[in-house]
Structure 1
Amino acid sequence: MSTLYAAYEDSLFVVADADGDPTLRSHRFDSRPESVAVAGGAVLVGTFEHGLRRSSDAGKSWTRADGIEQDAVTALAVAPNDPNTVYAGTEPSRVYRSTDGGRTFERLDGLTDLPSSSEWSFPPRPDTHHVRWIEPDPNDPNLLHVAVEAGAQVRGHLSDGGVRWEDRVPGSRLDVHSIATHPEAQNRAWVAAGDGYAETTDGGNSWQHPDAGLEHTYCWSVAVGLPESTDSPQVLLTAASGANAAHRRGKAYLYRREGNVWERLDDRGIPTGEGTYRAVLERGAGESTFWAANNHGLYRTRDGGDSWDRVGVTLPDRVHDQCCRGLVVVD
């Protein structure tokens, strides 16, 4: 049984038994949710103005996590092999770590000491920048992939003494929105960025940019499966022609790559194109199962994107004018 946690611009929607007989709960927030995570039995929501909110009673009550100095919590991630270890990113760009399931946090110092930090700037608010994504490596518990919007993708090497930050390497994207890894794919990572798609096979030492067939290069979300039926990863990617088409005008598309060429997935049961904001993607329990959330609702595919079913819950009408901010699936 899968439970979905989908953060939109004013609410967190929780769908229990999403692949069976789904039920919907909603939690309205006074400040825009920017990120969502589930750590053990607790739900964490990063908001833009009111810090990190935590609920351990299925949303009946919310408390603010301690130790995060910034009000805007823009990224959340749970360590793949330790549900008590949670990472949070903020605006301005800081990274924090919790070892108690998101109750309290300590800052991992040094991120803004990197040489490229003088070039970091978020275009809508050019005097600041933020951590857009944190991806703990599932095969190396001491490695973090971190995206700063906009300006850098960097790596954090954890140790008992703290963290050593490594600045962007040649070939890495500058406007990264999401990063995917896979527990069965050592040293690999996949990136969706405003300045294009990228992937690595050596843990981030170098990056490649296969784009044959990719007609839209403003990329927002990426998810990866490794089905036994194919020799290549199934890479799903949401993309548009630019930020306006992705977030405000609504003309976003869904792509898949198995092998060397991208294929656009139109008319597969999930809305794309005119009137559709960029979707947020998440890998499911099966290697060809993926979930997606956009302004039209919540969707699932069990065949790697060939066909999509809408999850049987109805989101409020106001969601049709909102972008999904984060999606977590707990199986």
Structure 2
Amino acid sequence: MMARVLVLIGTKKGAFIAESDERRQTWSLRGPFCNHWPIHHLVADSTTGAIHGAGGNAWFGPAIWTSHDLGETWSHSSQGLAYPEGQEPVAAAWSVEARDGELLVGVQPAGLFRSGDGGETFEHLSGLRDHPSRPHWNAGGAGLILHSIVRDPAAPDRIWVGISSAGVFYTGDGGKTWEPRNRGTRADFFPEGQNYPEFGQCVHNIVKAAGAGDRLYQQNHCGMYRSDDGGANWQSVEKGLPSSFGFPVASHPRDADTAWMIPLNGAEQGRYVPDARAAVWRTRDAGATWQDLRDGLPQENAYFGVLRQAMATDRLEPAGVYFGTGSGTLFVSADEGESWTAVAEHLPTISSVETLAVD
């Protein structure tokens, strides 16, 4: 049976789902869902088939939205998604990782919650906020947000999170204890001589490479990086890229040496694609060299950015690559980035893009 490919799109005004068959040539679009809430991250649990959306803001409050029928109907819950009385309240859920009915949820202000019942109830994994560095964490431009959650597929207790602006933290015991893993990543906004601190980096996004190794890729406020030892050490891979600033990164589903990034022109230069000419940059050798992929992308007057969770791949052959822009366009490549097509336009600002393939 031919696979159905779903692209899960979180936006500032609800969730959308684009759908195609395995050829990925013709697409339909459904939505908006989730009562037009801001949905910062929309993901699927590939085991249960449930779709979960991390959403909310200071007005709505935080919640995880859930659909068990591929988006036809939705419910939401915030039960337990709160800090103890007297602490700054949780303003929004910003990221979610789902596996076998268990959810990890990153929130603002930065912290991590767990649900063991598919998003019905939540418990705070307090070990992260109990880390001695916590009083020194500073908010990034959008606030103090835990926006990236990476879980080792082979060892679920091994988890990496990205926090702006605290850096990357790692746990090997399911969230009881944590350690910063930022060695080799810069913090250019710190005073001279303090540019490589133990924590405090403004990490933008981290993903795990394919396979059994510990390779990670990262886009950062101050550079693009690769780690081959689970974040214990990072090395710059920005040589050959047009900028050292960007947000999203996506890894190949089968090849650990292949990844895609979308550099922007800089933190203080408008944060749009360099020269207003859109390109996705791909490496086939773990960041040693990069190739700009432009076929089908606008090459003039492209003043858009791409947010940290707004790029993803699928698991088909060849791998599909997807990204959504701040101006509401979803671009699709069915050939690993060689060519691109805009399959949805004029959506609200796209916050996240993820995929799900179903029979």
Report the TM-score when normalising by structure 1: 0.85
Task: Return closer, same or farther for 1:301/1:199 CA change in 2, 3 Å cut-off.
Answer: same
Match of 2:180 among 129, 149, 167: 167
Match of 2:27 in 1: 22
Shift of 1:328: 1.4
Task: Return closer, same or farther for 1:209/1:248 CA change in 2, 3 Å cut-off.
Answer: closer
Match of 1:257 in 2: 283
- Is the CA contact (8 Å cut-off) linking 1:239 and 1:246 kept in structure 2? no
Matched, 1:291 2:322: yes
Matched, 1:241 2:265: yes
Q: In the TM superposition, what whole-angstrom CA distance separates every residue of 1:75-128 from its partner, at most 9, and x where no partner exists?
A: 11123xxx3121101011110111222222111112123233233222436xx5
Q: Show structure 2 runs of 5+ residues with no match.
A: 83-89, 187-200
Shift of 1:5: 0.8
Task: Return closer, same or farther for 1:272/1:136 CA change in 2, 3 Å cut-off.
Answer: farther
Matched, 1:72 2:92: yes
Matched, 1:304 2:336: yes
Match of 2:129 among 105, 108, 112: 112
Higher mean alpha-carbon deviation, 172-181 vs 54-63, is at 54-63
CA RMSD, 1 decimal: 2.7
Q: Show structure 1 runs of 5+ residues with no match.
A: none
- Is the CA contact (8 Å cut-off) linking 1:179 and 1:189 kept in structure 2? yes
Match of 1:326 in 2: 352
Identity %: 21
Residues 1-331 of structure 1: matches in 2 within 5 Å? Answer: 1-17=4-20, 19=24, 21-28=26-33, 29-39=35-45, 40-49=48-57, 50-52=61-63, 53-57=65-69, 58-69=71-82, 70-79=90-99, 83-124=100-141, 129-159=144-174, 163-172=176-185, 174-225=201-252, 233-243=257-267, 245-246=270-271, 251=276, 253-259=279-285, 260-266=288-294, 268-271=295-298, 274-278=302-306, 280-285=310-315, 286=317, 288-294=319-325, 295=327, 297-311=329-343, 314-315=344-345, 317=346, 319=347, 322-331=348-357
Task: Return closer, same or farther for 1:206/1:124 CA change in 2, 3 Å cut-off.
Answer: closer
Match of 1:118, SS state, is helix
Q: Distance in 2 between matches of 1:309 and 1:56?
A: 29
Match of 2:134, SS state, is helix
Q: Distance in 2 between matches of 1:262 and 1:246?
A: 20
Q: Distance in 1 between matches of 2:253 and 2:110?
A: 33
Q: Distance in 2 between matches of 1:27 and 1:21?
A: 20
- Is the CA contact (8 Å cut-off) linking 2:158 and 2:170 kept in structure 1? yes
Task: Return closer, same or farther for 1:172/1:158 CA change in 2, 3 Å cut-off.
Answer: farther
Match of 2:353, SS state, is strand
Shift of 1:323: 3.5
Which 4+ runs in 1 deviate beyond 4 A?
247-253
Match of 1:90, SS state, is strand
Task: Return closer, same or farther for 1:248/1:289 CA change in 2, 3 Å cut-off.
Answer: closer
Higher mean alpha-carbon deviation, 42-51 vs 2-11, is at 42-51
Match of 1:204, SS state, is coil
